[in-house]
Structure 1
Amino acid sequence: MSVFSERLTEARKMMGWTRKRAVSEIGIPYQTYSNYEQGKREPDINTITMFANKLNTTTDFLTGMTDDPSPKNHSASDDTALTWADLGMPYGGKIPDELKQTYADLAESYFKRHPEMLNKNNK
């Protein structure tokens, strides 16, 4: 079995779906889906993206790029992540001096709880 086939099966089971329910929800033939789960076929990127959306996970999880199946924790590494300038937007792009320490404390607290994000952003 491939990483993809194992992850597809895992994501389906996390949804509490049988294969029959999965093909009904996803809208592909049973045999095609079964071949994906058994590792007999590999889907194209558009199909992987569709699976990720329908199974409430990410393409990174399905392809083995991450072990985290949850789509909610992946925005910090993409191009839409907030920057210091974004945090100052209500203040014309500049954080007032009296709030800089508050923002720094928030960032420090966040990275203490999520040290993996600190390492990811420093690469």
Structure 2
Amino acid sequence: MTEFSERLKQTRESVGWSKTKLAKHIGVSLSTYANWEYGFAEPDIKTIRLICKALGVSADTLLNLTSNPHKVEQVDLKTDPVVLSYGGNPVSDEDMEIIEAILKRHKENE
């Protein structure tokens, strides 16, 4: 097995899909899909996009470019034009300071 084939199998199994279900969903034969999981072949970029969409993961995750499948792009709350609200109400400057303190503490504890 290759690194890609292992990651593909792990990701598919983590969402509870069978090989058959995923193959049908992305429009390839079961044997074609199985060859990817066994490491005999690899899909093209268009198909990788379909797989990622079906399994709800990023290409970085599927291609093992990141170890965290839930990693998201970082946002600087002070400089990025992000609109924050909770319950339909804007977050106040005072609440933003509390949020920043919590996030800072969380980062320090990682």
Alignment RMSD (CA, Å)? 2.9
Match of 1:20 in 2: 20
Q: State which drifts further: 28-37 or 40-49.
A: 40-49
Shift of 1:83: 4.6
**Is the Cα–Cα contact under 8 Å of residues 3 and 62 in structure 1 kept in the other structure?**
no
Question: For the residues of structure 2 that align with 1:12 and 1:75, how far apart are their CA atoms?
Answer: 23
Task: Point out where structure 1 has 5 or more consecutive residues left out of the alignment.
Answer: 90-97, 118-123
Per the alignment, do residues 88 and 7 of structure 1 end up closer, same or farther by CA in structure 2, a change over 3 Å counting?
Answer: closer
**Is the Cα–Cα contact under 8 Å of residues 19 and 34 in structure 1 kept in the other structure?**
yes
Match of 1:45 in 2: 45
Name the aligned partner's letter for residue 103 of structure 1. M
Relative contact order (alpha carbons < 8 A, sep ≥ 6): 1 or 2 greater? 2
Question: For the residues of structure 2 that align with 1:24 and 1:40, how far apart are their CA atoms?
Answer: 19
TM-score normalised over the length of structure 2:
0.74
Per the alignment, do residues 111 and 21 of structure 1 end up closer, same or farther by CA in structure 2, a change over 3 Å counting?
Answer: same
The structure carrying a bigger helix percent of its residues is 1
Match of 1:4 in 2: 4
Q: Number of matched residues?
A: 103
TM-score normalised over the length of structure 1:
0.67
